[in-house]
Structure 1
Amino acid sequence: MGLVVRNHLGLVMATSAQRMVASDSPQAAEAITVLRGIELAIDTGLVSAVIESDALGVVNQIKSRGPNASDIGIVVDDIVSRFSVLAGRSVDHVSRKANFVAHTLSRMALTIAEDRYWMEDYPPCVEKFIHEDYLD
């Protein structure tokens, strides 16, 4: 999975490429990625967050905030619980082309032996996309 945490000005606060045990469900993988993104945002000390994902089904389930009996319900419940500690929070669906940094980091995660984290930085492989994603 690939994660990008930005502050309210769009500046990169953290990025991460993390290995994930293969999942039969792309929705489950996306939901776990959103959860890890919230955890990384909290760990970086952000008090406000906007979650962006290109997985519309996951975004809709998070926004519903009701009881969730789906196959990813327990992960969505964790997302809502952890997200509630952040002020100024919202969850938005973005197009895949506006999420290229995260996808590049995800591909990087396939090649690493250990999870990687960059605080207030990012790896060179995403440098050219950092500003493009924010502007889209």
Structure 2
Amino acid sequence: MKCNVDAALFTDGAGFGAVVRSHEGRFIAAKGGRLGCIQDPLLAEAYAVEQALDWIRSFNFNNVIVEIDCLMFSSTFNSRHSDFSYVGSIVKQCIQIASDIGNVQVRHVKRSVNHVAHVLARATGSSSVLGSWSSHPPSCIAALISY
């Protein structure tokens, strides 16, 4: 499975989008949610991955590639160095959740590759795009993916 994750900042907080697809690119599930009053982009990206991993864990997938367009997060996640910052503590939580899942890889990708998660994250500015979808994607990303 592959999960694209992104965060978006708004004047009143942040939102995230996560889209899971099969290795063939077919839609499996999506989730969009709010992250509270976060105004720091890196912190928002870290919380977005934490929320996505926690959600993925509920599906009992055991082999997942997480793609994110935040190089700092992916580098920190894949690093063996301790980071005692706020972001570092969230990354540590992400690593723990990932170990519960099984084989999880975090890869940095260009924003154009992560476009579907970016569009979903931006759409969470509207309360109508909060939730999760498993049979059909939300309308804001339906034209961007196959299902």
Shorter-chain TM-score bucket reads 0.7 to 0.9
The answer as to whether partners of 1:7 and 1:46 remain within 8 angstroms in 2 is no
Q: Which residue of 1 aligns with 2:119?
A: 104
1:6-47 CA-to-partner distances (Å, cap 9, x unmatched) read 234433221011122131310000000011111121112211
Q: Which residue of 1 aligns with 2:47?
A: 32
- TM-score, with structure 2 as normaliser: 0.80
How far, CA to CA, are the matches of 1:129 and 1:114 in structure 2? 16
Q: Which residue of 2 aligns with 1:81?
A: 96
Provide the aligned length of Structure 1 versus Structure 2.
131
Q: Do the aligned partners of residues 10 and 41 (structure 1) sit closer, same or farther apart at CA in structure 2, a change above 3 Å counting?
A: farther
SS of the aligned residue for 1:117 comes to strand
Q: Any unmatched runs of 5+ in structure 2?
A: 1-15
Q: Is 2:58 aligned against 1:43?
A: yes
In terms of fraction of residues, the more strand-rich structure is 2
Q: Any unmatched runs of 5+ in structure 1?
A: 132-136
- TM-score, with structure 1 as normaliser: 0.86
SS of the aligned residue for 2:127 comes to coil
Identity of aligned residues (%): 27
SS of the aligned residue for 1:23 comes to coil
**RMSD of aligned Cα (Å):** 1.7
Pick one of 70, 79, 87 that aligns with 1:55: 70
How far, CA to CA, are the matches of 2:50 and 2:145 in structure 1? 21
The answer as to whether partners of 2:17 and 2:118 remain within 8 angstroms in 1 is yes
The answer as to whether partners of 1:4 and 1:101 remain within 8 angstroms in 2 is yes
Q: Which residue of 2 aligns with 1:22?
A: 37
Q: Which amino acid aligns with 1:74?
A: S
